């Protein structure tokens, strides 16, 4: 059909075989590929019916390439995209089979029956509708096609807590990111005591680096600052499991190795640990990263806006954040 090699009358005539041509479906005009599939009144009735199920206005195309381009464009906007693609192949196949049945067997199926056969075929293929039924129009489309509506499983809601450190411990939450990977990088962190009070905070605007490098550099700055503050019991928390595992296994990449070696005497002299938590429990460090990106400057002892102070207070009170999986 696409390459115009089906044995329609015009193709046979081009091969030097003389015959009188008449469309086997409508009996009104000479048979060509374009006529059989696009211009014949019988075929057009089938296409109109199928497009109507999707609330799409049928566009009568002159050539097969134009028709296929139009069908492809509509695929981006219709509901039940699987059924739309199946429909192109299924309708063309049924129209061609009906043409052959009429020409060679003398058997004709009315258009209304062929429509039902096409719907049953598409229904038996069980095209996916998961996540595509969002409006009343989409719902009506599924009902017309007779396709069951598939729903995503309900999201589970997980309570995520920022846990306060023990007495005499200080907790460092840090984060890092880059706009692009690699891209302009930034990092930030906050130190809090066992009551949830702020001891220190920092944000860093870096050059171009990857996300993992930005996260590790944010950690190194935090550890250097902990050394300067004389912290002896340190709990480090990150929302990057890759960074946490890398530090726990002492697999330090080259860009942080010099600082890591410098920090070894300090780290060996204190009690410390690094753990992973979800991003929802790391919202303050995440804010510092976004603020560094927005302002383009590095700073310490950040003056937090009211809504971030409220988040810090919620953390100190042990109130949960929510994660949707």
pLDDT digits (tens, 9 = 90+) for 2-43: 666 788 888 888 888 888 889 999 988 998 888 988 889 999
pLDDT, tens digit, 9 for 90 and up, residues 87-97? 999 999 999 99
The pLDDT of residue 1: 63
Nearest Cα neighbor of 89 from 108, 105, 71 is 71
**Can you state the angle between helices 111-125 and 41-53, rounded to 10 degrees?**
40
Instruction: Supply the pLDDT for residue 12.
Output: 87
If residue 128 lies in a helix (H) or strand (E), which one and from where to where? Answer: none
**Are 79 and 54 spatial neighbours (Cβ–Cβ below 8 Å)?**
yes
Q: Which residues contact 16 (CB under 8 A, 6 or more apart)?
A: none
Residue ranges in the chain modelled with pLDDT below 70: 1-4, 152
Cα end-to-end span (Å), the chain: 46
pLDDT of residue 2: 64
pLDDT at 183: 87
User: Taking the domains of the chain in order of start, what are their residue ranges?
Assistant: 9-145, 159-324
**And the tokens for 39?**
């211009």
Strand pairing class (233-238; 271-276): parallel
Output the pLDDT for position 203. Answer: 96
- Decide which of 3.30.70.120, 3.40.50.2300, 3.40.50.620, 3.30.420.10 is the CATH code for 159-324: 3.30.420.10
pLDDT, position 266? 97
């Amino acid at each position: 059909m696409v390459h115009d090699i089906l044995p329609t009358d015009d193709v046979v005539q081009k091969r030097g075989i003389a015959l009188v041509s008449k469309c086997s479906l409508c009996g009104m005009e000479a048979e060509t590929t374009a006529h059989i599939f696009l211009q014949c009144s019988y075929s057009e009735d089938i296409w109109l019916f199928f497009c109507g199920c999707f609330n799409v206005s049928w566009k009568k195309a002159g050539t097969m390439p134009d028709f296929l381009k139009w069908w492809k464009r509509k695929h981006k906007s219709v509901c039940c995209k699987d059924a739309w693609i199946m429909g192109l192949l299924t309708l063309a196949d049924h129209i061609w089979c009906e043409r052959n049945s009429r020409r060679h067997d003398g058997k004709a199926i009315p258009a209304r029956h062929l429509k039902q056969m096409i719907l049953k075929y598409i229904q038996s293929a069980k095209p996916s509708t998961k996540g595509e039924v969002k409006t009343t129009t989409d719902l009506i489309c599924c009902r017309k096609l007779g396709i069951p509506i598939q729903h995503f499983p309900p999201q589970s809601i997980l309570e995520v807590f920022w846990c306060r450190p023990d007495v005499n411990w200080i907790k460092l939450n840090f984060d890092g990111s880059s706009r692009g990977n690699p891209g302009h990088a930034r990092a930030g962190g906050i130190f809090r005591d066992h009551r949830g009070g702020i001891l220190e905070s920092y944000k860093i605007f870096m050059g171009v680096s990857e996300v993992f490098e930005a996260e590790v550099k944010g950690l190194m700055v935090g550890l250097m600052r902990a050394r300067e503050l004389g912290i002896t019991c340190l709990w480090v928390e990150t929302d990057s499991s890759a960074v946490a595992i890398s530090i726990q296994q002492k697999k330090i990449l080259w860009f942080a190795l010099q600082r890591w070696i410098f920090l070894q005497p300090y780290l060996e002299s204190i009690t410390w640990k690094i753990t992973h938590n979800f991003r929802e429990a790391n919202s303050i460090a995440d804010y510092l990263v976004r603020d560094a990106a927005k302002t383009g400057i590095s700073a310490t002892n950040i003056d937090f806006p009211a809504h971030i102070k409220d988040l810090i207070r919620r953390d100190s009170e042990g109130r949960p954040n929510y994660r949707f999986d």
